[in-house]
Amino acid sequence: MKHTHLYNYILGIADNSLILAQRLGELCGHGPTLETDIAGTNISLDLIGQARNYYQYAAKIKGEGKTEDGIAFLRLERDYKNVLLVEQPNEHFGYVMGRQYLFDVFHLLFMNQLLNSTDETLAAIAKKGIKEVSYHKRFSGDWVKRLGDGTQESNQKMQEAIDELWVYTDELFDQTEADKAMISEGIGIDTSKFKEVYYTEVSALLKEATLEVPERKYFIKGGKKGTHSEHMGYILAEMQYMQRTYPNMEW
């Protein structure tokens, strides 16, 4: 049972990175400037690299001939455990940066705690990727401020993005059975301990960007338990095409 919980816990972390990387990858060649386009693509590649490390470890735990490619690309929609936030579509550049920032703040706080995991492999993955995640947060945060405190149009679009995405933030702190089991073992991270820190940090930057902090009394959840938005099926249709069309293909 412990191995099952550990396997599912790892997928919960890895799937966030994979699906967000897929979303960012859709924008390759479509950035507002060449420099920004390259930066976004590099962030996508960083996230894929981190996801690979997690999937390799998950495959080792699962056994049964599982591989990182099979786990990443051949599961059904309900088997993915990513939060709903990362699967939201690329409505416009402000939306992309808003989504990225809201995830990046959480991701960096999480990785800082994962360094202390009693699982040496997870701690090592965090140590390897934390500098990348720190850069991701700085990049997306700078753009949120730049757009929020920019023109009237950029401020309006940035505000709309934050307002729409805010309802997905609480799920970042939702705990599944696997989360609870791994927290009790000292392997997983109790995200509730930095929930207040997260919202304080995000709110401070939004105010600096001359944006209003949304006041929502309800939040949308489900992704961590396999109930995804209508966007997820389209993501997987594109992401899984090669593996399903050419079974057992290896890079």
End-to-end Cα spacing for the chain: 33
Local confidence band at 1 (pLDDT 50, 70, 90 cut-offs):
low
Q: Which domains does the chain have, with CATH numbers?
A: 2-245 (1.20.1260.10)
Dist. CA 180–CA 178, nearest whole Å: 5
Dist. CA 154–CA 47, nearest whole Å: 27
Dist. CA 20–CA 14, nearest whole Å: 10
The pLDDT, as a whole number, for residue 33 is 73
Average pLDDT of the residues in 34-41: 77
pLDDT in tens, 182-217: 999 999 999 999 999 999 999 999 999 999 999 887
The pLDDT, as a whole number, for residue 250 is 64
**pLDDT exceeds 60 at position 251:** no
Percentage, residues of the chain above pLDDT 70: 98
pLDDT in tens, 87-120: 999 999 999 999 999 999 999 999 999 999 999 9
Dist. CA 150–CA 233, nearest whole Å: 35
Burial-class residue 59 by CB neighbours within 10 Å (0-12, 13-18, 19+).
buried
Average pLDDT of the residues in 146-158: 96
The residue count of the chain comes to 251
Local confidence band at 2 (pLDDT 50, 70, 90 cut-offs):
low
Dist. CA 59–CA 57, nearest whole Å: 5
pLDDT in tens, 68-88: 888 999 899 999 999 999 999
